[in-house]
Amino acid sequence: MGWSEIFVLLLVTCGPTRAALVYMSLTKSADASLKRAIAFRTVTVSTVICIVFALIGAAILAGLKVSTEALLIAGGIILLLFALNMILGEDKDQGADGPPPAPSLDVATFPLAVPLMASPQGLVAIVAIDATLQAGTGDGAIFLVLILAVMAINLGFLLAADKIFAKIPPEILKIVLRIVGLLLCSLAVQLMIFGFDGLGLIPDPEVELNG
């Protein structure tokens, strides 16, 4: 998996869209300073969580005696289910059953940072990607830079959420989410292919099956 694919995977699973939608709902009655504070805390908490998972991903695998291939396959399945939900699932408006709670900094940690921005599927993807990186090659540093880049995008998106959603009709946003979900399906399948290939379950294309 190339760096561009990894960046897209991180952007989709740990990106700003879903968190921003809930952020808009929970901060409707908040003033500008509180909105900025919530945005910064959301991204800070998410960044710390994602970086911790990136740094100790290999240790988690070693401690649980889980093979890289098993994690790639499991991560691919989880990502596939997540992507299918993006494509086929029905979106529910947050706070549709009643008025939204009074805005406070507490919403930055839950639900905005976890589980919306530092999402379960995103953390699985981070650990799976970390397990495939070669030690001592600088790949780990590049991976951390990509995580920070995604989080920078998230912060910019949250800070500009009012202007962005004012110009984008909800129907267009839903279409974009479904297109992204389709792309994520292919990335999820590719993760599983890497896992099956590592286990030797995919036959060599140069060998005839009936040979």
Q: Which residue, chain included where needed, has tokens 């912060």?
A: 155
pLDDT in tens, the chain (211 residues): 789 989 988 998 899 988 888 898 789 889 999 999 999 999 999 999 999 999 987 787 778 887 878 877 887 888 788 778 878 865 544 444 455 556 789 999 988 998 889 987 788 889 888 878 876 778 999 999 999 999 999 999 999 998 888 887 767 877 877 887 787 788 788 878 888 988 888 876 554 444 4
Contact 1, 142 (CB under 8 A): no
* pTM, full prediction: 0.74
* Helix/strand/coil percentages in the chain, nearest 5: 75, 0, 25
